Amino acid sequence: MMNKKSKIVLVGGGSTWTPGILKAMTTHLKQFPLEKITLYDIDEERQKVIGEFAKILFKEEAPDVKVSYTTDEKEAYTDVDFVFCQMRTGGFEMRDKDEKIPLQHGVIGQETCGPGGFAYGLRSIRDMEKMVKSVRRFSPDAWILNYTNPAAIVALALDKIFPKEDKVLNICDQPVNLLRSFASLIDFDANDFEPVYFGLNHYGWFTHLYDQTGKDRMPEIKDVILNGGFRPVDAEQRDQSWLDTYAMVEDMLRDFPEYLPNTYLQYYLYPEYKLSKMDPNRTRTDEVREGRETKVFNECRRIVENGTAKDSSVVHNDAHGDMMVEVAASIAHNLRKTYVVMVRNNGIVSNLPDDSMVEVAASLGANGPHPYAVGKIDTFYKGLIESQHAYEKLTVEAYMEESYTKALQALTMNRTVVDAKKARKLLDALIEANKEYWPELK
């Protein structure tokens, strides 16, 4: 079965993350053999730079794999086995507004959390719905692996819009990034962890990290963090904002020592503190534009000009690319490896709503995810998750019903906002900024 070669389309092919994914594909060919890769993006200029780089990379490292790029969805989606989706509706222009408009109103500006994530979510749902319908028209049996943010809202929306769809899998790389970083603290191979995890996307906790012998390594990882802090395993590649984000794990662990938290929880647990550290005139968007965006595109242009990628120090495997390829391989070849993914709850966490899209460990094979039961969770975590689920559900319902009231309720529910008067001012400002992308809220 491992000899079967897959045909892939990568949606959002002009992304700065695409070179790392392509590099991961070349290094995982034995695990995940490929016949064809198509890059698809609506931004022709960005797509061409990354597409030409892709042709050079595969000519040098995997010449038998066919590589093309297109802005035509029929060409992209016809006769494919897997769709890797990482679109960003509105691009960096709208991300900039997602981060800066909330800050102008005294609220955290972050692309997936709070009002920024709300705005991004309402933009993403429309394009994600269109993408699923288009894929099903041209490749009815393809697996859609979605990494589009904000993944929690997107996953919930897709589950509501396509309740019988069984070949859409929503997944995030942050649990994998954390596992790699935890492993580096104790000189351990992250692939050998058996994680136990529960929550919503960007809103969860590791409860156990077992090794091959069945020993829980979490106590010693906690001890290392509490005595020496926490940095990402790839710290040398990270911007300062990410180093600050990882450092906050120590704070969360001191206050709530039971479990190891997802880094994004800091925005909900310490909103005033995080707000105080943000510059309303310079956000993460500016950092990415000046850093990764410039670096990756300049390097890809240089590679295209020189005709070789062999001397590149920028284009390398990362957790994001490795995870996307390994997840597809586990499904394509029925490997049944364990990953943290998003699935409809249906009793997995027994005291949370069945319709919530929980993020838990699951075995992944040809028939999709088989999640591991979590059981009951304690009051503190249950309360936090139920509040966040209510916010996410109201956001999706606001989109589907074109409801201003539900949008206002959603923002008021969010722990980074809370105040209804502030929520209304924010909502009105975000409506104005997103006129081209949101449904008209009545």
> Tens digit of pLDDT for each residue in 230-257?
999 888 878 888 889 999 999 999 999 9
User: 81, 127, 173, 318: which is the annotated catalytic residue?
Assistant: 173
Averaged pLDDT of the chain: 95
Q: What is the pTM of this model?
A: 0.95
Active site residue 279: no
For the chain, percent of residues with pLDDT exceeding 90: 93
- Judge whether residue 184 has pLDDT over 60: yes
Active site residue 72: no
- 58 — pLDDT class (breaks 50, 70, 90): very high
What is the SS3 assignment for the chain?
Answer: CCCCCEEEEEECCCCCCHHHHHHHHHHCCCCCCEEEEEEECCCHHHHHHHHHHHHHHHHHHCCCCEEEEECCHHHHHCCCCEEEECCCCCHHHHHHHHHHHHHHCCCCCCCCCHHHHHHHHHHHHHHHHHHHHHHHHHCCCCEEEECCCCHHHHHHHHHHHCCCCCCEEECCCHHHHHHHHHHHHCCCCHHHCEEEEEEECCEEEEEEEECCCCCECHHHHHHHHHHHCCCCCCHHHCCHHHHHHHHHHHHHHHHCCCCEECHHHHHHHCHHHHHHCCECCECHHHHHHHHHHHHHHHHHHHHHHHCCCCCCCCCCCCHHHHHHHHHHHHHHCCCCEEEEEEEECCCCCCCCCCCCEEEEEEEEECCEEEECCCCCCCHHHHHHHHHHHHHHHHHHHHHHHCCHHHHHHHHHHCCCCCCHHHHHHHHHHHHHHCCCCCCCCC
- Judge whether residue 372 has pLDDT over 80: yes
> Tens digit of pLDDT for each residue in 107-144?
999 999 999 999 999 999 999 999 999 999 999 999 99
User: 77, 120, 246, 264: which is the annotated catalytic residue?
Assistant: 264
90-112 mean pLDDT: 97
